[in-house]
Copies of this chain bind each other. A is one copy, B any other.
């Protein structure tokens, strides 16, 4: 099938599929006219990557997951470790964002938000004290 059909079936934009080819993720055959020709297996792999990316795995991790996927000898422990690490990264990011939110909330709470120029948010940004 041509790239637009592969795009439809995998849930990825054609542009992204070409990019994935550039970086060596899925290399389709070529038809006589030079068009890319995708097999069902190609599309399956693309959809796999699409799902893994949407779960927050990086491209490099996706490559690893794909290689594990196509390796009959893999240990599920390898995959699980990757997933648990990813969960830890996500937790870390959530902690950071909560801390940011709390700081910004405190700043906003003290700001009148009116037409007057007096603004504690800017004052905090300008000072070096950390209103945490």
Which A residues form the contact surface with B (CB < 8 A)? 44, 47-48, 51-52, 55-56, 65, 68-69, 71-77, 79-81, 83-84, 86-87, 90-91, 93-94, 97-98, 100-101, 103-105, 107-108, 111-122, 124-126, 128
Contacts of A68 in B (CB 8 A): 119, 122
Q: Write the nearest CB–CB distance from A42 to chain B, whole angstroms.
A: 14
Q: Are B65 and A100 in contact (CB under 8 A)?
A: no
Contacts of A51 in B (CB 8 A): 124-125, 128
| Alpha-carbon distance between A115 and B126 when the two chains are bound, in angstroms | 56
Q: Are B111 and A79 in contact (CB under 8 A)?
A: yes
Q: Are A80 and B125 in contact (CB under 8 A)?
A: no
Most buried by B among A44, A105, A115, A126: A126
| Alpha-carbon distance between A120 and B98 when the two chains are bound, in angstroms | 31
Is the contact region of chain A dominated by helix, strand, or loop, or is it mixed? helix
Contacts of A101 in B (CB 8 A): 87, 90-91, 94
* Across the A-B interface, the 7 shortest Cβ-Cβ residue pairs: A80-B113, A76-B119, A77-B113, A75-B115, A80-B111, A90-B101, A83-B108
Q: Are A55 and B104 in contact (CB under 8 A)?
A: yes
